[in-house]
A and B are shown apart, each in its own frame.
Chain A
């Protein structure tokens, strides 16, 4: 993985619709490049515009937070970046390849080899133990760490043989993080990872994410509606009503324990 990233480049809010994003980062450090991403859900009688032309770049080993109220389109954007969904219009590039041109098979391969997902509601398989939930991923990855190692990284070495129902919400989310990182993904995408948790457990989860980002250098993108979490990020991207409102770079990032919300 790459060298330590420092906050640079674009400062201040970005003008909307600006297609030429000026950046001092080298293109080969850029992991994602999204242009004009639009998503319209056809709900029968009404059409819902979840994304209305989003331009976004995410960089190697960067920790970004996508901030926005519910309905702002942040989950949709994350799903598209993660290859779970495809935009109605626009392009998304992942490193050299164009995600939006990939077929179902290509997207599956992309998710399998490059992406780690963490969901708001953990989405653990209830019939599998913590270790087995992680093994679900290590079974199909080319170069995984052991489930034990992954669980150890999130501080759950002593809970490996517990079923999800025997774990607290925070523990379940940490299992989900272990499951996401066990394949050594290039990007870690977290959808409201603390949304269903209280502060104390939320902090533990965020620490786990931060640790992965630091130790493995995994490009990390967390979406949340909790502005406080933005303080952990190198860049905070504000989404409102399907558009990027602003992108803020943090000079200093706070550790999860220093957050107050």
Chain B
């Protein structure tokens, strides 16, 4: 090994604490990059392969009942390469061991196995046997959650009749990667399952013989999807078509896309924060090193080392630190990526979801860390290269200080000499001070943003489950029922209060923009289901006209007071016009509301309802569930407590880990910044501090000068960090602002307090480490050293 390389290694060993702190920050940045992008790539490749191999549909459409002879006409649409018509129906299930009603979605499949659109992956058991009318395949998530499998059976209430379904196999389908019941906040595998059943018996059970109510299509590459959708809509129109949608709006595909986008977003932003801080730290440390080693640089040059060799030598400090951090980061990132994929394996149902760390991702990570190393080293290496050899033989001239702003303002007398030293030091190197402050602020901001998720979710839960939905149970009917049904529901055991719900599927049209949704009709004095804005205040439904979420208004490009066309997608499919009298900034979805009486007037119908909200006496809960399961008119029962449980369970599983790493990583930044700042200050001023000790200052007094500087940095950084955190949170909230939900921008004081405490604890730790060195300052040795 060449002597100059030995010098590099030994010198690095001298500053190992600082080098390690910086390497850790780089390591975390690289790890984040690797984690997010490797997960992104693994997930995206898996999805693409899965969709491709199992022929995921490009267009999805539902109708009330279309005749089978429509199928060839759908297949003839230009750009369509395949069509699969089917019967899809949600039913109430009675599963052994579960008192509450469970929703099962029955999806028809051919009796004999054949390749099809949205094909099945048979994981366990066998496919249906022709002629056996009660055989079903069950989705993996439900089978796992309910611990059932081939040989077990479930009871479905189909059109009022209880029917035993025999499970013969466990399967997956690309259209149910994210198996969520429409309207739910989170997937709940235990209460929502998919059952694939032979077409003929399923059609018979729902009076669909010779017809279908659901169709999925594959398009050719380069096909005009909009035109295909328009054609599908016009063909299905006479048969109660509910509007076709592209794959991108299909609920499972949408969630998956959304997740991928988030991974990419996080993968871009978070590593950048860490690497920017690392570059700054490298800059500070190397600047100091070059200044301390002025004479060594001169000697090297005098001995014949070229500027290039000297430049490379000092770049190598930075590159070695970043390389060691990067290598550790790659392994950490791989480990975290594996964990993340494991988590996704619980969320998303893929037949195969293998973690893959592609060389591209590793290369990308290494490139950005080298970039950070070069950025960090650049200015000090330039100084080292430019240092004239003769110049470097002379000691550095004493730094020029000036009185601080406060002193110039005549307030100097208020400051003790120690405070004056601290302030002059901070003012002397405004860039470094600023960057230290920015680094600590960034870590504070990262903490805030990490913890803010909890606040946002809490608020979301609060608004959704406590302020808006005060019902315990939501019952939906197979078909709209007469007003009498409300009374019948009211008479069920344990029901304290019942309110009508009328949902009318519509296509909204405003100018050239359209949107399928359904209008929710609520009672004017509704006490259970309420409309709640982001301020968590219940909003009063106007007696006439529509009230819609701001998200929907934006999609339609309309404002308060404007009119929209409602193409009703049920019954006689009337077309009406109505005024949007009010907007509401709800956190979730694209709802549109109307006073139920006004809605009925608009529909020119009597006291019809499509479901009911119930407030119940928990003591009679099981009895009520038992009865609900057996009422033929009931299509689905949604339980608030179950939804809450599912939500909390998922949060417990993921958020704990997420927050742990968030705190860990943010602390690493704080420690990196504060420890380095303190070590540099110590290195620059040990002579000065030792002189003060000789003059009679106590250890406490000199540490207060040194640590006072850190305290001043913290004092500036903490409020900035909290502000930055709020900014990050706002950024995050706006990036999450999609059609399905958005996060409330509400950072709790608990989050701020925790962030401040974590930053302070990390800073104190670093301060103590340096204080220990200060206590062991060898006065004689320090004073002997020639500066």
Contact = CB atoms under 8 A, between A and B. Distances in A.
A152 interface: no
Nearest to B302: A117
A140 B10 contact: no
A251 interface: no
A40 interface: no
A127 to B, nearest CB: 4
Nearest to B310: A108
A149 to B, nearest CB: 16
A33 interface: no
A133 interface: yes
Given A85-B390, A123-B295, A111 B301 contact: yes
Contacts of A183: 304
B304 A113 contact: yes
B299 A123 contact: yes
B786 A135 contact: no
B304 A119 contact: no
Interface string B287-328: 000000001101111111111010000000000000000000
A136 B3 contact: yes
Given A127-B7, A135-B2, A139-B2, A82 B306 contact: no
B604 interface: no
Nearest to A114: B304
Nearest to B307: A104
B382 to A, nearest CB: 14
Given A84-B389, A84-B390, A121-B786, A137 B304 contact: yes
A84 B295 contact: no
B768 to A, nearest CB: 28
B11 A127 contact: yes
Interface in A96-111: 104-105, 108-109, 111
Interface residues of A, number: 34
Interface in A60-112: 75-76, 79, 82, 84-85, 104-105, 108-109, 111-112
Contacts of A75: 393
Interface string A111-132: 1110101010101111110001
Contacts of A125: 3, 7, 296, 299-300
Most chain A CB within a 10 A radius of its CB, from B14, B299, B300: B299
B388 interface: yes
A179 interface: yes
A79 B307 contact: no
A136 B14 contact: no
A112 B3 contact: no
A85 B301 contact: no
Contacts of A141: 304
Contacts of A108: 301, 304-307
Contacts of A124: 299
Interface centre among B11, B302, B389 (most CB of A within 10 A): B302
Nearest to A124: B299
A82 B304 CA distance: 10
Contacts of B307: 104, 108
A136 B456 CA distance: 60
B4 interface: yes
A123 B390 contact: no
A95 to B, nearest CB: 17
A109 B304 CA distance: 7
B254 to A, nearest CB: 59
Nearest to B13: A127
A111 B10 CA distance: 26
Contacts of A113: 304
Given A108-B306, A111-B304, A128 B3 contact: yes
Contacts of A119: 299, 302, 393
Given A135-B2, A136-B4, A139-B2, A127 B14 contact: yes
B413 interface: no
Contacts of B296: 123, 125-126
A112 B388 contact: no
Contacts of B304: 108-109, 111-113, 115, 137, 140-141, 183
B6 interface: yes
A111 B305 CA distance: 8
A139 B304 CA distance: 11
Nearest to A176: B299
Nearest to A116: B303
A111 B6 contact: no
Question: Looking at A84, A109, A124, which has the most chain B CB atoms within 10 Å of its CB?
Answer: A84
A112 B308 CA distance: 14
Interface string A219-249: 0000000000000000000000000000000
A119 B302 CA distance: 10
A84 B302 contact: yes
B298 A123 contact: yes
Contacts of B302: 82, 84, 111, 115, 117, 119, 123
Contacts of A112: 303-306
Contacts of A135: 2-3
A140 B3 CA distance: 10
Contacts of A179: 303
Nearest to B299: A123
Contacts of B306: 105, 108, 112
B641 to A, nearest CB: 67
A79 to B, nearest CB: 4
B301 A84 contact: yes
A112 B306 CA distance: 8
B303 A117 contact: yes
B389 A85 contact: yes
Among B296, B301, B306, B390: residue with most chain A CB under 10 A: B390
Contact of A121 (B4, B10, B295, B309): B295
Interface in B302-360: 302-307, 309
Interface in B671-722: none
Given A84-B389, A85-B390, A111 B303 contact: yes
A140 B300 CA distance: 11
Interface in A121-173: 121, 123-128, 132-133, 135-137, 139-141
Interface in B82-128: none
Nearest to A133: B3
Contacts of A132: 3, 6-7
Given A104-B307, A109-B304, A111-B304, 16 more contacts: A84-B302, A84-B390, A85-B391, A111-B301, A113-B304, A119-B299, A126-B296, A127-B10, A127-B14, A128-B6, A132-B3, A133-B3, A136-B303, A140-B304, A140-B305, A141-B304
8 contacts: A79-B390, A79-B393, A84-B302, A123-B299, A125-B7, A132-B3, A135-B2, A139-B2
The 7 closest A-B pairs by CB, nearest first: A112-B304, A85-B390, A127-B10, A123-B299, A135-B3, A136-B3, A79-B390
Interface of A: 75-76, 79, 82, 84-85, 104-105, 108-109, 111-113, 115, 117, 119, 121, 123-128, 132-133, 135-137, 139-141, 179, 183, 191
Interface of B: 2-4, 6-7, 10-11, 14, 295-296, 298-307, 309, 388-391, 393, 786
